[in-house]
Chains A and B, each alone.
Chain A
Amino acid sequence: MTAFMYEKDLSAMKYAILTSTRHDRMIREIAAELDIPQIRLRKLMMDRFDMMLLENLPARYDQGKNSRKTENPVEKDLGAGLYTRAIPLISSSEMGKITEQVQTLIREGTSEHEAVVAGRKMIRGVILQ
């Protein structure tokens, strides 16, 4: 068996980070927007993000929400910058594809609200893969 010396399981510490007041507030907001169970979102973040990124998530989330104001309407509603750059839950290329699909739906006559709801469903699908 090969393993790193001193390598330890960080799950407990990562969970402690994610349950602090500000992290908890952020998780609740993201989970509500993307319709993902909070516990699932926490697990996803623990698996994909390192400790420093987890610690910095609330600051990045606030920064992402601020820069959301300058995006075009569809990207703003989908949280294109927020979920790719600030909270990297999904890759830029995948988000680009979803944004394009949503814009196509709007061009074909689907209402903007319905298209964005469909887009969020696609984002959820990619994140939960």
Chain B
Amino acid sequence: MKRTVDVSVPIGPIHPCFKEPARVKCETKGEFVISAEVELGYMKKGIERIMRGRPWQEVMFLAERVCGICSVIHNMVFIEALEQMSTIAVPERAALLRVIVNELDRMQSHILANFSYCYTIEHETLAMYLLDVREHVMDELERITGARVTCAYIVPGGVRFDLRSEDVLHLRANLAVIEEEVTRYMHMFEGGPLIALRSREIGVLSRGAALEAHAVGPTARASGMPETDRRIHHPTYKKLGFSPVSRTEGDNYARIMVRFQEVLESISIIRKCLDTLPEGPIRGGGIPGAGEIAYSGEAPRGELSYFIKTDAAGRVVDISIQTPSIMNIEACCHYMLKGVSSLADVPSTFVSADPCIACTER
């Protein structure tokens, strides 16, 4: 006679499908996951401690080193927080250039997340296609900012480099290629019967649970929470008439589809920016001074908040960073993984929340 035993199955810290080390401890009954717990501590940098006491000129470089995947938004939120604190104005051209770079960063992050998911459910063909199209986005980031990651593009009062007319041509041509390819891959994902078997109605996060865990970003928007998108409060995005994407299924499939849809949304935002890009300066000047502020922006994974206190010399006296992965991983291990009917779905459900351990541990 078969015997069902309760066992504790650790997944990770090193797992071929995880981008970063994390240990997911699952309590299971056979294949059924009763509860899950994520253990951290494998890549703590102590970056908040390093930031304290340093001038903002040094902290702005440290901020984008919190995460290698979404470095632009860390740079942007930190600088915009300083600008708000010291009422520094940004020229319109610079504000739009910031949006372009931020959206390119979001696109590459979403494509990487979807690559990771497809790789986890063993659809390697689609995964490799996605990784290939991501290179087009990385090329554009490099062309505009001079670097693929940790670009340090945004500075108080503006941006570091202007967009040349030949760059605009390259960007428009590449956006057309990316749009075509991503649309094709989205349809492949949408219509794949095996993908549906591994993704639909798996790792469901209800709207109520998402609210309770304060889930953010595509994870929350896949559970019918478009209001969590911080871009609707950002003045430049407001001018561009931005409206967030959302779905209601709340499963792995919805989270991946939201990211695909957001990539297409980002392409249309960048095109609007290029169409309305005025001539003018890219730096307005201004030096951050003393103050205290809590400021949030929309990172690829969701709401990113910086709590900063500076002195008159612009030194960061205190800083606390709340990254979106903290909320999303918590929602994942306490709500999505609970009740998963097969252990094989644990890594894919975990990856569908796009967990960033570097952000979580800082």
Contacts and interface: CB of A to CB of B under 8 A. Distances in A.
B327 A50 contact: no
A58 B214 CA distance: 10
A18 to B, nearest CB: 13
What does DSSP make chain B's interface, helix, strand, loop or mixed? mixed
Given A4-B8, A53-B334, A85 B40 contact: no
Interface stretch (A31-39, A59-67, A98-106): A59-67
Interface in B197-215: 211-214
Interface string A38-61: 000000000000111101101110
Nearest to B8: A4
Interface string B174-214: 00000000000000000000000000000000000001111
Contact of A51 (B38, B213, B320): B38
Contacts of A10: 39, 41
Size class of the A contact interface (CB-based, 8 Å): 20 to 34
A44 to B, nearest CB: 18
A65 to B, nearest CB: 11
A58 B10 CA distance: 27
Contact of B214 (A4, A6, A20, A63): A63
Contacts of B318: 21
Nearest to A60: B214
20 contacts: A4-B8, A13-B44, A21-B307, A50-B39, A51-B39, A51-B41, A52-B40, A52-B329, A52-B330, A52-B334, A53-B330, A55-B326, A56-B214, A59-B214, A59-B322, A60-B212, A63-B211, A63-B212, A85-B212, A86-B212
